[in-house]
Copies of this chain bind each other. A is one copy, B any other.
């Protein structure tokens, strides 16, 4: 059994971790912290967990957390980096579901996140937790930077093309649509039901924090600069990301041939599902499931390849991927506790 602590369990990634860990056969949840809810039972805040979680929230205690085999941070950006070194010294390993360890360059991190990085030395050690790219490094990692939701959907959709040098590395376009749970569980007028339902809009077009993360991943794959236009949109639904990805082909190719390339690239990836060429994956086909489904199109036999990539932002885009990383770090089969079908309808 892996003894586990969660720092910051009151947000959506936190409660989703609780849902997944509740059915994981190899995890013992020891402690879950929240300053604001300290003393309150978890299942009082989230009645859906009645019968599945007997803990109460507690204030963060480095000794209790450090005694765990693994600590998940489901906190706002800037929290994990202040506690990481202490917990590592005490022998715990760390998976940060926020952004603290995602960018390798501390200067770029500061630019996008608006604060100095508290432990830049760890940035070099931290492993970017996209198992489909870094599976072996994750197994050994002390610190895993769990990827962002958009970066997961976009990278899984573009990597097979860029790694094989099939498309131009400039002029890439990622038109992404996310459900509102991606904005977190926080009091904000913009994501009220009365504001966000029956409505659709783009946001952060001039610049979104996931852009440098995506770019870093794609450039690592190609070994050279890429140019990407990333436009996120808010869709009137709770869960799900749909990334529609556009790239110019270096040479003519049809959807079937490209699909075969994708299948080969993800042959050993249990959570990436390549659909038949010219399919239209739906976000609900991964709702609650740790899966990314991909489909490839080359419309009208033209020069542009279109990749459709769907994930559940809270699962493969957050808590599910974190559990997948945990499984790798502790030598379990990658799919342990994660083999649940989506909720449809």
Contacts A171-B171, A187-B188 given: A235-B200 contact, CB under 8 Å? yes
* Measured CA separation A235–B293 after assembly (Å): 18
Q: Tally chain A residues at the interface, Cβ within 8 Å.
A: 89
Q: In the complex, are the beta carbons of A206 and B278 less than 8 A apart?
A: yes
Q: In the complex, are the beta carbons of A229 and B246 less than 8 A apart?
A: yes
Contacts A19-B341, A47-B293 given: A201-B273 contact, CB under 8 Å? no
Q: Which B residues are CB-close (under 8 A) to A236? A: 193, 197, 235-237
Q: Please give the distance in Å from A291's CB to the nearest CB on chain B.
A: 8
Provide a sorted-by-A list of 12 A–B residue pairs whose CB atoms are within 8 angstroms.
A12-B194, A177-B235, A180-B192, A187-B192, A197-B236, A201-B281, A203-B280, A205-B297, A206-B297, A207-B299, A231-B299, A233-B242
* Measured CA separation A189–B191 after assembly (Å): 9
Q: In the complex, are the beta carbons of B237 and A198 less than 8 A apart?
A: yes
Q: Which B residues are CB-close (under 8 A) to A203? A: 280
Q: In the complex, are the beta carbons of B285 and A47 less than 8 A apart?
A: yes
Q: Which B residues are CB-close (under 8 A) to A206? A: 278, 297, 299-300
Q: Which B residues are CB-close (under 8 A) to A9? A: none
Q: Mark A215-234 against chain B: 1 for CB-CB distance below 8 A, else 0.
A: 00000000000010111010
In the complex, the count of this chain's copies comes to 4
A342 near B: Cβ within 8 Å? yes
Q: Which B residues are CB-close (under 8 A) to A284? A: 48, 198-199
Q: In the complex, are the beta carbons of A12 and B187 less than 8 A apart?
A: no
Q: Which B residues are CB-close (under 8 A) to A183? A: 194
Q: Which residue of B lies closest to A335 (CB)?
A: B51
Q: Which B residues are CB-close (under 8 A) to A293? A: 47, 50
A287 near B: Cβ within 8 Å? yes
A339 near B: Cβ within 8 Å? yes
From A79-87, A125-133, A301-309, give the one contacting chain B: A301-309
Q: Please give the distance in Å from A270's CB to the nearest CB on chain B.
A: 8
Q: In the complex, are the beta carbons of A344 and B278 less than 8 A apart?
A: no
Q: In the complex, are the beta carbons of A205 and B237 less than 8 A apart?
A: no
Q: Please give the distance in Å from A170's CB to the nearest CB on chain B.
A: 8
Q: Which residue of B lies closest to A199 (CB)?
A: B284
Interface centre among A12, A235, A302 (most CB of B within 10 A): A235
A49 near B: Cβ within 8 Å? yes
Interface centre among A22, A229, A242, A286 (most CB of B within 10 A): A229
Q: In the complex, are the beta carbons of A282 and B47 less than 8 A apart?
A: yes
A107 near B: Cβ within 8 Å? no
Q: In the complex, are the beta carbons of A343 and B287 less than 8 A apart?
A: yes
* Measured CA separation A299–B171 after assembly (Å): 12
Q: Please give the distance in Å from A278's CB to the nearest CB on chain B.
A: 6
